[in-house]
Amino acid sequence: MTDDVRSAPESGTIVPLGHEVYQIDTRMAGYQGITAGYLIRSERPCLVETGTAPSAPVVRDALASLGVHAADLATVVVTHIHLDHAGGVGDIAAMFPAAQVVVHELGARHLADPSRLMASARMVYGDELDGLFGELAPTPAERIRTVERTGVVDLGGGRRLESHYSPGHAKHHVGLVDAVSGDLYTGDAAGIYIPETGDQRPATPPPDFDLDIALASLRMFAALRPARLLFSHYGPVDAVAEALDRSAEEIRLWVAETRRARRAGLDLDHAVAMVAERTRERYAVFAPDADPDLAAKYNRIAGAPSNVSGIMHWLDKPSAGATASR
């Protein structure tokens, strides 16, 4: 076992963001700069997002280098239970035995018993599952605390992290606001931000994506008037209003293009190709002179196949008909 070997984090793994907030590159599937966790190093230290299960040793070593050891971590919060955000919860809970795990009530049972979540992930990802996400380990139910429409995490010293239910990307999604820094942890509710190019892309996977609910969550985020957005993919954005407007615009555009492909009678593969082609010019990451590895990396987490199939899935629901004219 190499489990007890601690190593100093590689350079770039930890980025201080002020207010005792540290961005940690959790290195999903070995990629750099694709999945971020965040440590709030307050009196009661709190980790937001664990990354995947294979990321857990990376996160543990990063926390150790920031002075947060096994007995010190008070809370682990995940914005939602998708495996790139919460796949490491079971391992991190075992490494930090004092930590309470906070999750929306609709996600809690999957952290306690991940068998159904893992089975459906295996259906979607097949043999790629192990290399991308690994295996979510169960967390003892008594260590899990649920939040509902809102909730509070005590960061100590009068500092609080407030959770706000923000479905649309996933029905078990919350955004989190730090009352001291004004940071809003957006999870995937505002899509993804690509720091290398400044692009924003939607994240609309099956089975939960819902246009109206997703847009309502973005309006709720704006009403919270955060000082800064912290994207799980990837990093801080200061121009809050512009970024949230862009998130809504991206979602609307992808829905419109997917609807057009669907009306043309295209099957999923052809619809994906059409929507990808019709949106391509919006993103510097796909420009001919851009780094092809960068595009490949971001296609892993918010690629056109996932986005278009999520929108198609929503359009197939009777409730989507109410918004057909939008």
> Which residues sit at the interface with Zn ion, rule CB under 5 A?
84, 188
Contact (Cβ atoms closer than 8 angstroms) between residue 305 and residue 275: no
Smallest separation, CB 322 to Zn ion (Å) = 28
The H or E element containing residue 298 is helix 292-302
Contact (Cβ atoms closer than 8 angstroms) between residue 35 and residue 51: yes
Dihedral sign computed on CA atoms, order 78, 251, 148, 228? positive
Q: Which two tokens stand for residue 224?
A: 């919270």
Distance, in Å, from the CA atom of 3 to the CA atom of 268, rounded to the nearest integer, reads 43
Smallest separation, CB 84 to Zn ion (Å) = 4
Smallest separation, CB 320 to Zn ion (Å) = 23
Which CB, 84 or 91, lies closer to Zn ion? 84
Smallest separation, CB 99 to Zn ion (Å) = 21
For residue 211, the one-letter residue type is L
Smallest separation, CB 271 to Zn ion (Å) = 22
Which CB, 66 or 205, lies closer to Zn ion? 205
Which CB, 46 or 192, lies closer to Zn ion? 192
Smallest separation, CB 191 to Zn ion (Å) = 10
3-state secondary structure of 93: helix
Which CB, 132 or 213, lies closer to Zn ion? 132
Smallest separation, CB 263 to Zn ion (Å) = 29
The residue with tokens 């009306």 is 263
- Is beta strand 183-187 parallel, antiparallel or unpaired with respect to 228-231? parallel
Q: Which two tokens stand for residue 79?
A: 């914005």
Which CB, 154 or 196, lies closer to Zn ion? 196
Distance, in Å, from the CA atom of 41 to the CA atom of 68, rounded to the nearest integer, reads 8
Which CB, 42 or 247, lies closer to Zn ion? 247
Which CB, 84 or 257, lies closer to Zn ion? 84
Across the chain, where does the E strand assignment appear? 14-16, 21-25, 36-40, 46-48, 75-77, 100-104, 144-147, 150-156, 159-165, 174-178, 183-187, 192-194, 199-201, 228-231, 235-237
